[in-house]
Amino acid sequence: MDLFAVLPIAFCLMLAVGTSAPPLGGLRRYAGVVASAVILVSGLALVVAVLDGQTPTAVGGQLRVDALSAFMLTVVGSVGLTATWGGLEPRTGPRATASYPALVALFLGAMSLAVLADNIGVLWVAIEATTIATAFLVGYHRSRRSLEAAWKYVVLASVGVAIALLGIVLLYAATRSGGSPTLSWSQLDANRPPLDPSLVRVAAALAILGFATKAGLAPMHSWLPDAHSQAPAPVSGLMSGVLLSVAFYAILRVQAIAGPVIGPGLMRGMLVTAGLLSLAVAAALTIRQRDLKRMLAYSSIEHMGLLALAAAAGGVLALSAALLHVLGHGLAKSSTFVVSGRILATEGTTSTTQIRGLLTRRPGVAAPFLVGMVALLGLPPFSLFFSEVAIVIAGVERGLTWVMAVAVVLMLVIFAGLARHTFAVMFGQRTAPGRGEAAEPADRGAHGPWIPLAVALGVTALIGFAAGPFSTILTDAAAVLGANQ
């Protein structure tokens, strides 16, 4: 079992190095897919192991797998598989450059490391590494816009994550003055060294603020719409679907460590503020959005805001709902981003003001997008419906009634905005009827593999109903976070 804890990271690194070498050029096309598949398989194996009561460790305890890590690794794998498999360019397209598959593999490896590391410092390093791996992926198209997005992304994300480092440093100082310097949460959780609350307050606040940047929470979200809209579709899917969640995972871990020391008040206040601000920003900027991919990016900010509120609420229900939300959102968002890439490829634009009647003209592309949007809007049978309902109930339960009220109102505005743009793009006819010209025949092609999308969306639709082991891993993972506090 311990092997599976190392495998994802090691394999991704090998792949990154290997695909750079000419002999393995043929593998390049599938590098991301293979890496994701390995991560997914390892994740599932680890989930089984964890359910079995084991706690696999590796590399001298630097990597340690509890229920939460195993779940997050599965999320990374499944979302990664959706994004990379679904994002496979048609063979006739331009050949990928050598760096692209290597960077994707590095990116996936860094995320795996982030969720598997038992050390918050290593987690930080891994998250910063994702910035490095994705910087050139964002700027991949080398256009002015992608260059601009890359610059903003690197500067804003690095600066933000640097703040998290400051927080981690202070946390380390606190443990040092407590007598047992460590950044490992298994030790922090097991030994509960006497930490100074006032110092941990600063540390936790800074760490959360820093990781919030990477998680796309307002007011640190500014890089997100630019980077997500300019990156190639599969990368957008990965970033939006899972990178944000990995950063959110870091916030959860920090919260779990600091919570017993300083109580929930401060972090709850910060997360509520960030959550509501994110929802507000997403609402305000969705109303008059003009670009499909940016619209999806703001939808990610919305969902991260909701997750922040779930973290603020705490408790088994809220946290297991948050984790279910992470998975559902990841699958649906990566699918929609992948399809938005196909829309860009076929229509030549992602402007919501220019594309019309897509469902009529290109049902093969429009239908999966529409289904994905339905999922993202939180409608049943998709799991996001359950997680949103549970988060609101848990929030009210924890005394955040007004916060939840404001949140759902903002979500309503976002719903209306997203529906408005989606309807405008999808429905109707491009040309007014009666022009005399015969309507062009509908293009039923999917313009890419449809299986990953169908599987991802199907899974999203079903996991809300999945009682049994899936339900157990969710509650176990929530329990890891000390959900009973």
CB of 416 to other proteins, least distance (A): 4
Query: In the range 361-390, which residues lie near other proteins by CB under 8 A?
Result: 374, 379-381, 383, 385-387, 389-390
Record the tokens describing residue 66, joined without a space.
Answer: 């509890």
Q: Judged by CB under 8 A, which of 463, 477, 480, 481 binds other proteins? A: 463
CA 130 to chain centre: 12
Record the tokens describing residue 145, joined without a space.
Answer: 């816009």
Q: Is-contact 51 470, C-beta < 8 A?
A: no
CB of 409 to other proteins, least distance (A): 7
Considering the rule CB under 8 A, would residue 20 count as an interface residue with other proteins?
no
Q: Among 371, 380, 262, 255, which Cα is nearest to 319's? A: 255
To the nearest 10 degrees (0 to 180), the angle between helices 292-313 and 383-397 is 40
C-alpha distances out from residue 257 to 112, 263, 480, Å: 21, 10, 11
Considering the rule CB under 8 A, would residue 357 count as an interface residue with other proteins?
yes
Whole-number Å distance between alpha carbons of 434 and 271: 54
Between 33 and 295, name the residue whose CB sits nearer to other proteins: 295
Considering the rule CB under 8 A, would residue 159 count as an interface residue with other proteins?
yes
Between 354 and 429, name the residue whose CB sits nearer to other proteins: 429
- 75-83, 314-322, 332-340, 344-352 -> range binding other proteins (CB under 8 A): 314-322
Record the tokens describing residue 125, joined without a space.
Answer: 């390093």
Query: In the range 395-434, which residues lie near other proteins by CB under 8 A?
Result: 395-397, 401, 404-405, 408-409, 411-413, 415-417, 419-420, 423-424, 427-429, 433
Q: Which residues of 148-180 are buried (b: 16+ CB within 10 A; e: fewer)?
A: ebbebbbebbeebbebbbebbbbbbbbbeebee
- 49-57, 89-97, 203-211, 447-455 -> range binding other proteins (CB under 8 A): 203-211
CB of 81 to other proteins, least distance (A): 20
Q: Judged by CB under 8 A, which of 72, 102, 206, 307 binds other proteins? A: 206
Q: Assess whether the previous peptide bond of 219 is cis (omega < 30° from 0).
A: yes
Query: In the range 283-312, which residues lie near other proteins by CB under 8 A?
Result: 284-291, 294
Between 197 and 445, name the residue whose CB sits nearer to other proteins: 197
- Residue 202: Cβ within 10 Å count: 18
Which residues are registered as beta bridge partners of 351?
291
Considering the rule CB under 8 A, would residue 68 count as an interface residue with other proteins?
no
Between 88 and 377, name the residue whose CB sits nearer to other proteins: 377
Three-state secondary-structure class, residue 164: helix
Between 39 and 313, name the residue whose CB sits nearer to other proteins: 313
Between 5 and 33, name the residue whose CB sits nearer to other proteins: 5
- Residue 33: Cβ within 10 Å count: 22
Between 15 and 373, name the residue whose CB sits nearer to other proteins: 373
CB of 26 to other proteins, least distance (A): 28
Between 192 and 290, name the residue whose CB sits nearer to other proteins: 290
Between 88 and 473, name the residue whose CB sits nearer to other proteins: 473
Site string for other proteins, 224-263 (x = CB under 8 A): -xx--xx---------------------------------
Considering the rule CB under 8 A, would residue 51 count as an interface residue with other proteins?
no
Q: Judged by CB under 8 A, which of 41, 44, 51, 125 binds other proteins? A: 125
Please give the size of the binding site for other proteins, defined by CB under 8 A: 123
Give 347's contacts (C-beta < 8 A, 6+ positions apart): 354, 355, 358, 362
- Measure CA of the first residue to CA of the last residue in the chain; give whole Å: 31
- Residue 429: Cβ within 10 Å count: 12
Three-state secondary-structure class, residue 406: helix
